[in-house]
Amino acid sequence: MHITADRDRCVGAGQCVLAAPAVFDQDDDGLVAPMTFDPAEGEQDNVRQAVNVCPSSAIWIDKE
């Protein structure tokens, strides 16, 4: 799995951090700051959840 995050689209809701805290963080402006773009297999369900709950569609999965 590989993910992409569009910081220009991010609204800082933090839903990604709540869904996948081992993969996503927020910077000082509250915008998405992925800690990895290739999450471990054990985090992939959490990443899918984060993608689904992101209100601005700022994160997505490039490849499974």
Q: What pLDDT is recorded for position 64?
A: 85
Output the pTM of the full model.
0.93
Q: Match 């959490």 to its residue by tokens.
A: 46
| Cα–Cα nearest to 16, from 57, 61, 62, 50 | 50
Over residues 24-36, mean pLDDT:
97
Domain boundaries defined on the chain: 2-59
- Percent above pLDDT 70 for the chain: 100
Average pLDDT, the chain: 97
CA distance 29 to 52: 22
Over residues 14-19, mean pLDDT:
98
Options 3.30.70.20, 3.40.50.300, 3.40.50.620, 1.20.1440.230; CATH for 2-59 is 3.30.70.20
For residues 11 and 55, is the Cβ–Cβ distance under 8 A?
yes
pLDDT tens for 45-64 read: 999 999 999 999 999 999 88
